[in-house]
Chains A and B, each alone.
Chain A
Amino acid sequence: MNFRFDIIQEYLPFFLQGMGLTILMSVIGVLMGCILGFFIALGKMSPILIVRLPFIWYINFLRGTPLLVQLFLFHFAVLPSLLGETTPVLSVIVTLSLNSSAYVAEIFRAGLQSIDKGQAEAAHSLGMNKVQVMWHVLLPQAFKRSIPPLGNEFIVLLKDSSLGAMIAAQDVLYWGRAASNEYLKVWEPYLMVALIYLVLTLSLTYLLNYIEKRLDVK
């Protein structure tokens, strides 16, 4: 087999550019997902069913439908009707944020509910109000416990961002497809795309391991 390194060489600047976009979309997706996910977790833990219900179905919908379908829905239907127009990158960011928020919400909820009931009781018995108990006692402990599953979610999200290529967001996979179409070759571009994602996820894995160690997560 004649492996055409020159294709990779030619496309390298585009791959690097795509990598930048992949990182950008993933980072924003993760951050927004965490912020949204936190409030959705709180909403889903409400003792009042009417309050809880929309959050339950938000999570049901986002976890129960394919990400690609969500991406098409947001890119072609939801965002255009809300904003008048959208760009592929914006659609990917919005979809990733909402999708990951559902998973992150479940991670936070599990983290919060895994904290021993005695912690909240002790804090309340000292006169702390609900917000103080949540902020000073429950959240720091729950967040620490959430780090390993959150890391897992980040890696999934980073890889899922490649679906953006389906709506022409110019991420790593987009340029792989472009190279493949131009030269009618499959091995070179797709192996390169796989390698880039592997480098990204491995870097993230080691970064997360480092953070876990620093925070002494057990």
Chain B
Amino acid sequence: MISVKHLRKTFGETEVLKDISMDIHSQEVVVVIGPSGSGKSTFLRCLNLIESVTDGSIVIDGQEITASGVNVNTLRTEVGMVFQQFNLFPHKTVLENITLPIVTVRKWKKHQAEEKAMDLLQKVGLLEKASAYPDSLSGGQKQRVAIARALGMEPKVMLFDEPTSALDPEMVGEVLGVMKQLAEEGMTMVVVTHEMGFAREVGDRVVFMDDGYVVEEKPPKELFEKPEHERTKAFLSKVL
């Protein structure tokens, strides 16, 4: 599904991703963990080219997205993304947040897009908030709308960039619940998170990144119980 080879990313003099190679299979849930500054968010942002790639290649669904002349916008409709800060459009209602890209990018008719949006809102349990503005929602509700908005494009992969890090603790559960449901439906997901419980329960594979490298990747049970590398052990001892 996704094949990353020798990915490098530099910001000026700073090399954030040093040599990342990874394969992500269809319907797999890959959880990326690591200390802040390890490059995990940058890695995720490279997968839909929100961050340009310095070197290496990324192939998604048979298409090399890092090749020149690739239509970035078409690629991005295949790869949904959920952000730490939600990034809902504050001047649009919840319903409009979801229909806007469906109408402008997918070119659906407005009423079709609205039907689709209502289905998605039902799925994330926010049907009654359709005509509300994002300002009036709680953090957890905002993030669920953001997930629905990304799903509206019917992506093949969903990327989650610390989706619960900006939430009050009591709202983390509702967002993780929606993500878990997505995973059960067979969505391919790459999740950067500090929620070790989620990684353990939902992740098929956990990737530990540090200092721009993938240090270790294993099924969650193995990684959490028998980490091989010193750096993994040190990190886990702090967060578990």
Q: How far is the CA of A140 from the CA of B90 in the complex (A)?
A: 10
Q: Chain B contact residues (Cβ within 8 angstroms of A): what range?
A: 20 to 34
* Chain B stretch 104-129: residues in CB contact (< 8 A) with chain A: 104-105
9-residue interface stretch from A25-33, A92-100, A117-125: A117-125
Q: How far is the CA of A140 from the CA of B133 in the complex (A)?
A: 15
Would you give the shortest CB distance from B201 to chain A, in whole angstroms? Answer: 27
Is A127 a contact partner of B90 (Cβ separation < 8 A)?
A: no
Would you give the shortest CB distance from B197 to chain A, in whole angstroms? Answer: 27
Is B105 a contact partner of A144 (Cβ separation < 8 A)?
A: no
Is B104 a contact partner of A121 (Cβ separation < 8 A)?
A: no
Return the contact of A126 from the options B85, B90, B91, B101 (Cβ within 8 A). Answer: B101
Is B89 a contact partner of A119 (Cβ separation < 8 A)?
A: yes
Return the contact of B101 from the options A116, A127, A141, A144 (Cβ within 8 A). Answer: A127
Q: How far is the CA of A107 from the CA of B152 in the complex (A)?
A: 35
9-residue interface stretch from B31-39, B73-81, B216-224, B232-240: B73-81
The reply on B150 being an interface residue by CB < 8 A is: yes
Q: How far is the CA of A122 from the CA of B104 in the complex (A)?
A: 14
Q: How far is the CA of A124 from the CA of B150 in the complex (A)?
A: 11
Is A125 a contact partner of B50 (Cβ separation < 8 A)?
A: yes
Is A132 a contact partner of B105 (Cβ separation < 8 A)?
A: yes
Q: Specify the main secondary structure of chain A where it touches its partner.
A: helix
Is A125 a contact partner of B91 (Cβ separation < 8 A)?
A: no
Interface string of A116-156 (1 = CB under 8 A from B): 10110111111111001000110011001000000000000
Cβ contacts under 8 Å, B74 to chain A: 127
The reply on B43 being an interface residue by CB < 8 A is: no
Would you give the shortest CB distance from B206 to chain A, in whole angstroms? Answer: 24
Cβ contacts under 8 Å, A124 to chain B: 50, 73, 76
Q: How far is the CA of A140 from the CA of B88 in the complex (A)?
A: 14
Interface string of B77-107 (1 = CB under 8 A from A): 1011101010111110000000011001100
Return the contact of A127 from the options B83, B105, B146 (Cβ within 8 A). Answer: B105
Is B73 a contact partner of A136 (Cβ separation < 8 A)?
A: no
Cβ contacts under 8 Å, A116 to chain B: 85, 87
Q: How far is the CA of A118 from the CA of B166 in the complex (A)?
A: 14
Cβ contacts under 8 Å, B88 to chain A: 122
Binding site for A on B (CB under 8 A): 48, 50, 73-74, 76-77, 79-81, 83, 85, 87-91, 100-101, 104-105, 146, 149-150, 153
Binding site for B on A (CB under 8 A): 116, 118-119, 121-129, 132, 136-137, 140-141, 144
